[in-house]
Amino acid sequence: MALTNISRRSLVDTVIAQLRAQIASGHWRCDERIPTEDQLAASLGVGRNTLREAIRALVHIGMLEVRQGDGTYVISDRDPSATLRQVDNATLRDQLEVRRALEIEAARLAAQRRTDSDLAAMRLYLDERGSWSDEASLEEFVERDARFHLSIVEASHNTALLELYRYFWGSIQGTIARTEHELNLPEPTLAAHESIYEAIALGDAEAAALAAYQLLTPAIDAIRTETSA
């Protein structure tokens, strides 16, 4: 069998995986300083440049933090990218149920807390959303639809909810695309979106939550029926 060249990228990925495993196993705990670059490079048998690239990657995803003059510390034992991969690999029904839960609470809070500028933004994005037609690509429509939903979450004025929604942004856009594109799924109508906006505009929290619930429930029920058949 012929030998294959091991790329630098593959080596960096291997080092990332080993460092991540040390953190996930609890060998290095949160708020603990990890060994120095020289120690890690020697233990792993790699150059310092390779090690630094791996550390930068883990800093970028929020597992490590470099403290100038003090070393590199563990700040999280969870890999956000792994969480997102698990969400992306979940069933469409599971993804829609989570999205529905987030949007119900967002609509309820938005009805209670929205400002005039929030309403103006929602109205603008809803008008821009329209309905998907052959005149616009699915990708463009998904972006417009997602922006309307994000404006509702922003109007909730709940920072944690907004950050959580943004965290799942890619998966949320994926659910929009699939409910529009898959012929066996009832797509959320423009009228259903209008109902959410109107309830928020009236300040009716329970009506807004109900409208948000009703938006995705037909698609969820259709999937449940299909899988149980």
The pLDDT of 182-190, averaged and rounded, is: 84
Q: Rg (Cα) of the chain, in Å, rounded?
A: 23
| CA–CA distance, 187 with 42 (Å, rounded to integer) | 56
The pLDDT of 6-31, averaged and rounded, is: 83
pLDDT of residue 136: 63
Region of residue 203 (phi > 0: left; psi between -120 and 50: alpha; otherwise: beta): left
Q: Which domains does the chain have, with CATH numbers?
A: 8-78 (1.10.10.10), 82-228 (1.20.120.530)
| CA–CA distance, 103 with 124 (Å, rounded to integer) | 19
| CA–CA distance, 43 with 207 (Å, rounded to integer) | 60
- The whole model's pTM is what? 0.69
CB 129 within 8 A of CB 150: no
| CA–CA distance, 132 with 71 (Å, rounded to integer) | 52
CB 145 within 8 A of CB 176: yes
Q: Which is more confident, 181 or 129?
A: 129
pLDDT of residue 61: 82
pLDDT of residue 191: 94
3-state secondary structure the chain: CCCCCCCHHHHHHHHHHHHHHHHHCCCCCCCCECCCHHHHHHHHCCCHHHHHHHHHHHHHCCCEEEECCCEEEECCCCCHHHHHHHHHHCCHHHHHHHHHHHHHHHHHHHHHHCCHHHHHHHHHHHHHHCCCCCCCCHHHHHHHHHHHHHHHHHHCCCHHHHHHHHHCHHHHHHHHHHHHHCCCCCCCCHHHHHHHHHHHHHCCHHHHHHHHHHHHHHHHHHHHHHHHC
The pLDDT of 136-142, averaged and rounded, is: 82
pLDDT of residue 211: 98
Token pair listed for 211: 């409208």
pLDDT of residue 88: 73
Q: Is it the case that residue 5 has pLDDT exceeding 70?
A: no
Average pLDDT, the chain: 88
CB 73 within 8 A of CB 34: yes
Residue-wise pLDDT tens digits, 54-85: 999 899 888 899 998 899 999 988 877 777 67
